[in-house]
Every structure is written in structure tokens, then in C-alpha cells.
Amino acid sequence: MAMTNPGNKVTQGQFSFLPDLTDEQITAQLKYAINNDWAVNVEYTDDPHPRNTYWEMYGQPMFDLKDPAGILMEINECRKTFPDMYIRVTAFDNTHGWEAPRMSYIVNRPPSEPGFKLHRQERDGRSMGYTIEPYATDKPEGERS
Amino acid sequence: MIIRWRCRPPPSSLNVSTLFKHEPLCVEDMSETENTDSDQELEMLPDDAPVDLQAEFERSQVQEVLDKLDRELVGLVPVKTRIKEIAALLLVDRLRRRFNLTSETPTLHMNFTGNPGTGKTTVALRMAEILHRLGYVREGHLVSVTRDDLVGQYIGHTAPKTKAVIKKAMGGVLFIDEAYYLYKPENERDYGGESIEILLQVMENHRDDLVVILAGYKDKMDKFFESNPGMRSRIAHHLDFPDYSAGELEQIADLMLKEQSYQLDDSARKALSEYIPLRMKMTHFANARSIRNALDRARLRQANRLFASRDRALKKEDLITLTEEDFRASRVFIDGKLDGDPADGILNSMPIQED
């Protein structure tokens, strides 16, 4: 892990192996989504487990916008409200046949990302079962960070 | 706005980032759609470089919009002068920026006051276009809203509603019609104040992203600003739209008819020029809008007239010409009342209000 992911950063969604996107770069990506008529959502969570697909939505999904400034405003508000959480931006394509998110990338990370704990489970014979658990979710919901 | 992707410098030693050599490329691919033709790069100039204001003016193609404004809007001289002044300010400001002279984005929020039908919405539309050509708004679209679109019905409803509208207007112009309705001092539980507060914040912090234009009747807007001094100080341009004179209204009628491919014969023209001063003296006179309604009713009467004589062969001429009787049948002439009253001849069953 340390070799391919030097900052020990959670790598989910687009651009996650890159340095964090600047606001300018985020704006350009938002513009790309707007030009494609995708609805953009801002979502947050404190549980970075890769199977956690249920992130909370911040505000309402944003349709019919012409300019990314409004979405950036929403992102910044979300950052202010939840500075210690993961925030991602999702662009949803509602055209028939797609009806799925077409873009998703992280725009905010907690200051420290403790990473994941690897659990080993000895099974019958000498076989092993493996699973991971984020350290970030050690505490119960509501008491984290 | 130009957004440039910085490619990372080549790594000095072999490290992890060399594994992702292709990444700036893949990012760049996505950004290619960004460059719209409205983006004009401002190159910096040395101190002694001469600049050509005329060339800059032509490059911005503002003249085209100003000409269009002159062509399509009759009268309104003070408004047009003010718009030209604003355009000049923005143009000079652009030149200044090329010499790296600091100047803050000028406050462009505006307030349009005037009686109904004096062209406030039309001018707002043109304004969006001018600001777009000069690069002060990125998209140049106009979002036109009233109180209903901004203010919610219960606690916690207003802020998301107002914000949604603001987000839609970002990069363009937000036009708030009848803005004085936002503030209802007689009802202390009214949510309009919340909406105003959010607007004020955005008008201050997002000056680069959004231009707000308020519109309404003069006296009511004055009262509105009295009770919201913060709003007043954030608006730099107060434009007053004067009422049209009878002659101007006639020109407007001509423009409208031309647009809809109609024409007046001589007697009809005379009837119209008598009609306008009569109508101006009556209640609920709404300048250009009243004229449009009068023309709509004349078209209705024309259609009826043609239909009544349908045994006769019609020529193209008949279809486009409005005659005297189409105007003279108006109640404004007959007994000095507004059309659309129950007793009004052929219009009995038609829900047309004269306003």
C-alpha cells in the first residue's frame, strides 16, 4: 500500500491518485458535467470503506445550471460544515440507457486519513479469509472525528 | 475565463508519479470542451505600449448589441445613455487590466425603476448580452424571477429556494421583477427578509459570478430601499425608465406590427394615432404592453371581419392589412371605456382584458 499510495490517501473515484484537485480544476470538471447536462450532487461521509455506497447528500441535486460557480459555492459550504469528512461530487446522467453516475471524485478529505485495518480469519484447513475495516469508523457514528 | 491545466514538471528522480505519466493528458482531454469562443485571453502589456480603444471596442462586438438596442427600443434615451456609459467603463477597465493595473470588479448590480411596459425586461436581456460580450459574465443568460420563486412558504423553505435560483443564475444575470414584494414590513413573520439576506451575501461575495438586476415601480422601490439600506448600497446603477410619449408609442406599434407581418392602411394609422392619446389618459395604462394588447384586439377584429365576409375571395393584402374599423370598434372610441367589459360587442365571450 505504501508503495503505490504514498500519502496513504483513500483512492476512490476519479483523479484519486492525483494530488487533490484545486478549486480551479474542480470548476473545469464541473463545467464538463454541466456541458453534458448531468445533474451534479455534493455528498459527504465519514466512512471511507470502498463498499460504503451510501454517502449523505448535501443539499439537493443541482439540475439545469449554466455555470459551475453555484456548485462550487455548495461544495465550499459543505467543506465548511464538514471539514473532517470525505466530500465527493457526483454527476448523474439521466439519459435513457445510462441512468447512472458518470463522474465521481473526492473534493475534500479529513486532515488525517488513518487508513484501513486488515483482518485475517483462519478458516478450515489452512485457508485464510481477509477483510478490511477503516480505522476512521472505530468510534460509533456521531462521535467520530 | 480560461482554465489552464498545469502539467507537472518532469520528475527529478524516479518516484511514484512517473508511474502515472499519462495523467495530465487524460485530464486535458476532458478540459478541451472548456474553451468556448467567448474566452478571450488578456495578454499583459508593457507600460509604454499604445492601446487602441477603438480596436478593443470592435473586438468586443458591443456596438452590435447597442445598435440592436437602438433599433428595437424606441425612446428611453436616459437608459441608453447609461448603458453606453456602463459599456465604456467596462471596456476601459478591460484595457486597464492589460497593463496589470489593479481594479476591483466593478459592482454591476442594477436597479430598474419605471412604470409597467416601459421595457425593463427587454433592457435586462440586452444588458446580459452586453456584459457577456465584455466578459463580465461567463454565460450571459438571464434568469427572470419574482417573489414566488425566491421566498418559501414555511420555515426552512426559503434558503434552499433562493439558493437554487441563485445557482441557476450564476454566470449570468438574475432579474428580480417586482423586487419590492420581497420585503413585507407589515408581516413580521414573512420569510422575504431571509431571501434578501442571502441575496445580499451573494451580491457581495460573488460579484464575479452574478449580476443582480432589480426591477419595479419607482415609488415602491424607493420604499423598499429605505427599509433595506444594505441593498441600496450594493447597487451601483439606478436606471429610471421614463414613460413613452404618444409618438414613441406609435413607433413601437409599427415595430410590433412589422414583427408580426401586419400593416396599417392610412385610415387605420389615423385611427391608431387618435387611439393612443385616448388610451393614455385612461386607467391601467401600461405603455408598450397596452399597445400590444390593442394591436392583438385589432387582429382579432380583423380576423372576425374577414371571416364574416368569407364568401369573398381574399388576397394576401387582405390578410396583412388592418383597417380603420378594426380600431374604431374599440370601446375606447365608442364610449371611452376599456375593452373587455361584458357589453363589448364581438369580444363578449373572449377573456381579454385591456391593461
Cβ atoms within 10 Å of B215's Cβ, excluding its own: 25
Q: How far is CA B164 from the centre of its chain?
A: 20
Q: If you measure CA to CA, which chain A residue comes closest to B208?
A: A69
How does residue B30 score in pLDDT terms, banded at 50, 70 and 90? very low
Predicted pLDDT of residue B333 = 80
Contact assignment for A60 to B160 by CB distance below 8 Å: yes
Whether A55 contacts A106, CB under 8 Å? no
Element (H, E) at B270: helix B266-281
- Locate the DSSP E strands across B146-303: 173-176, 211-216, 237-241, 263-264
Predicted pLDDT of residue B96 = 83
Q: Phi and psi for B224 in degrees, rounded to 5?
A: -60, -45
How does residue B150 score in pLDDT terms, banded at 50, 70 and 90? very high
Provide Rg for chain B, Cα atoms.
Answer: 27
User: Residue B25 and residue B22: Cα distance in Å, rounded?
Assistant: 5
Residue type, B211: V
Stretch 120-139 of chain A: residues touching chain B, C-beta under 8 Å: none
Q: Phi and psi for B134 in degrees, rounded to 5?
A: -85, 0
User: Residue B17 and residue B19: Cα distance in Å, rounded?
Assistant: 5
Q: What is the mean pLDDT of chain B?
A: 79
Q: What is the ipTM of this complex?
A: 0.79
- CA distances B144 to B172, B176, B207, B225, Å, are 11, 6, 18, 20
User: Residue B201 and residue B197: Cα distance in Å, rounded?
Assistant: 6
- Which three three-digit cell numbers place residue B107? 459592482
Among B310, B288, B289, B302, which residue's Cα sits nearest to residue B330?
B302
User: Residue B29 and residue B25: Cα distance in Å, rounded?
Assistant: 6
Contacts of A24 in chain B (CB under 8 A): 3
List all residues 6 or more positions away from B350 whose beta carbon is below 8 Å from its beta carbon: B300
- Which three three-digit cell numbers place residue A66? 449554466
Contact assignment for B3 to A62 by CB distance below 8 Å: no
Whether B236 contacts B110, CB under 8 Å? yes
- Locate the DSSP E strands across B76-228: 110-114, 142-145, 173-176, 211-216
User: Residue B241 and residue B301: Cα distance in Å, rounded?
Assistant: 32
Flag whether residue B135 sits within 8 Å of chain A, measured between CB atoms.
no
User: Residue B151 and residue B348: Cα distance in Å, rounded?
Assistant: 38
Q: Is the pLDDT of residue B44 over 90?
A: no
Cβ atoms within 10 Å of B3's Cβ, excluding its own: 15
Predicted pLDDT of residue B172 = 92
Strands B321-322 and B263-264: parallel
How does residue B141 score in pLDDT terms, banded at 50, 70 and 90? very high
- Which three three-digit cell numbers place residue B239? 436606471
CA atoms within 13 A on the CB side of B166: 29
Q: What is the pLDDT of residues A117-134, one digit of tens each?
A: 999 999 999 999 999 999
Q: Is the pLDDT of residue A35 over 90?
A: yes
Question: Minimal Cα–Cα distance from B174 to chain A, Å?
Answer: 12
User: Residue B126 and residue B142: Cα distance in Å, rounded?
Assistant: 9
List all residues 6 or more positions away from A130 whose beta carbon is below 8 Å from its beta carbon: A118, A119, A120, A121
Predicted pLDDT of residue B348 = 45
Q: What is the pLDDT of residues B290-306, one digit of tens each?
A: 999 999 999 999 999 88
Asked which of A85-89, B25-29, B273-277 is least confident by mean pLDDT, the reply is: B25-29
Contacts of A68 in chain B (CB under 8 A): 170-171
List all residues 6 or more positions away from A137 whose beta carbon is below 8 Å from its beta carbon: A46, A47, A49, A144
Handedness of CA B343, B345, B347, B349 (dihedral sign): positive
Predicted pLDDT of residue A145 = 64
Nearest 5°: the CA angle B189, B193, B199 is 155
Percent of chain B's residues with pLDDT above 70: 82
CA atoms within 13 A on the CB side of B3: 22
Question: Minimal Cα–Cα distance from B9 to chain A, Å?
Answer: 13
Q: What average pLDDT does this structure show over A34-46?
A: 94
Predicted pLDDT of residue B296 = 92
- Which three three-digit cell numbers place residue B128? 446580459
Among B323, B31, B263, which residue's Cα sits nearest to residue A28?
B31
Flag whether residue B20 sits within 8 Å of chain A, measured between CB atoms.
yes
SS (HEC) of B68-127:
HHHHHCCCCHHHHHHHHHHHHHHHHHHHHHHCCCCCCCCCCCEEEEECCCCCHHHHHHHH
Contact assignment for B3 to A25 by CB distance below 8 Å: yes
| CB neighbour class for B154 (10 Å; exposed up to 12, middle 13-18, buried from 19) | exposed
Among B169, B239, B236, which residue's Cα sits nearest to residue B198?
B169
Chain B interface disruption, residue of A11, A40, A73, most B CBs within 10 A: A73
Position with higher pLDDT, B168 vs B349: B168
